[in-house]
Amino acid sequence: MSDASDSGPLSRYSEAEIPTAYGVFRIVIYRHEATGVEHVAMVRGPVEGGVDVLTRVHSECLTGEVFHSLKCDCREQLDLALRRIGEAERGVLIYLRQEGRGIGLGNKIRAYALQARGLDTVDANRALGFDDDPRRYHVASRILEDLKVQSIALLTNNPDKIAALRRDGVLVTRREHQVEPHEFNREYLDTKRVRMGHLGDESTEPGDEDDEELDRLAARGAE
């Protein structure tokens, strides 16, 4: 059900500079012509031709980002990524409109109700007839291509994301750990780690060994 479908053209629709709490970014709107869905790239500094560009591929989360729900770590991930990209003075945050790990807002709230009755996030998705994580990342790959980014340092704990981007030809040189759990989202994050293969704080660093390590993480995401 993910809105980030890769079928049909994706156009760069509009862009402008905007000041943020993390510095001045260039906001670029990409419109998916088949669905009308608009995705966002927040670009900091010169990234065309850039290597090892600090990058976050982030999926929309209305409950966490707007209403400050503590059930997930999405707002913390978003804020940390923008802050780190702002401090680096070069990077890209791609904001994909695929709410609720791709199942949509209404179904995410239905899943929350099932979680309140004892299911974890994986079993709640399955009870509603969805895959554990139906998100796709082709749109992000196409945005990076349009921005002419040569390689990225990916802010993520999700090996599926590494695998998906690499399958699309994105050169992921390393990955960096995101946020730590707190009392309200610890069970949710533990479920993602145990049942979905999400990673901990074993961030990779630049070097010849990175390709082997990132291939291992990507292989985990492809299982």
Based on the residue annotation, tell me whether 135 is a catalytic residue of this protein. Answer: yes
Q: For tokens 């500094």, name the residue.
A: 45
- Token pair of 214 as six digits: 């990132």
Q: Are 8 and 31 in contact (CB under 8 A)?
A: no
59, β-bridge pairs:
96
Q: How many CB atoms lie within 10 A of CB 143?
A: 24
Give the chain's length: 223
Amino acid of residue 29 = I
- Strand runs (DSSP E) across 37-122, as ranges? 38-44, 53-59, 91-96
Based on the residue annotation, tell me whether 133 is a catalytic residue of this protein. Answer: yes
The catalytically annotated residue of 44, 75, 101, 135 is 135
Q: What is the largest CA-CA distance in the chain?
A: 50
The catalytically annotated residue of 73, 120, 133, 160 is 133
d(CA 8, CA 110): 30
- How many alpha carbons fall within 13 Å on the CB side of residue 168? 20
Q: How many CB atoms lie within 10 A of CB 204?
A: 23
- How many alpha carbons fall within 13 Å on the CB side of residue 8? 12
Q: Are 59 and 135 in contact (CB under 8 A)?
A: yes
**Catalytically annotated residues:** 133, 135
